[in-house]
Amino acid sequence: MNIKAEQEQCVIFGGNMSQIGIKLADNFFSANCAKILREYRKIPISELKKIVENGDLLMTCDYIDGAGIKQILSLYDELLNNGFKCILFEDNEETTPELLNNLVNLYRETEYQVIKEMEREAEFEN
């Protein structure tokens, strides 16, 4: 499924959440590519091959899904380390791993601040 189709699917289900995604820069599928992708996607190799050859996104997540973004970045690094060129997307725009890492760090800091605030509130209640 391409980015446009994923956005339309999001709208159909009631939201218009921004998406983060990754795809290969070329549409070349190989056994090494399949091995890497199977670590992240538990779907048949024939389906993975179809996704790659169609130039579709290999993996997507919501913009606010820190764990999903980490998975995409991990896949990105693994593909790059094995000689595959890939492209990261935020909605329909190419993005960089640095931007996504900054986003993950921001989510981590926010989570930490929320936990600290909850701990302070719990202390006041006692």
Which pLDDT does position 9 carry in this prediction? 39
Structure confidence at residue 10 (pLDDT): 38
pLDDT at 56 over 50: yes
Contacts of 84 (CB under 8 A, 6+ apart): 24, 25, 33, 36
Given this model, what pLDDT does residue 16 score? 56
Residue 13 pLDDT more than 60? no
Whether 1 has a pLDDT exceeding 60, the answer reads no
CATH at residue 86: 3.30.1390
Structural domains of the chain, count: 1
**What are the residues facing 59 on neighbouring strands?**
22
Strands 86-90 and 59-62: unpaired
Give the residue numbers spanning the domain of 106: 3-125
Going through 1-126 in order, the beta strands assigned E by DSSP cover 19-24, 59-62, 86-90, 93-95
Q: Is the pLDDT of residue 5 over 50?
A: no
Q: Is the pLDDT of residue 67 over 70?
A: yes
pTM listed for this prediction: 0.77
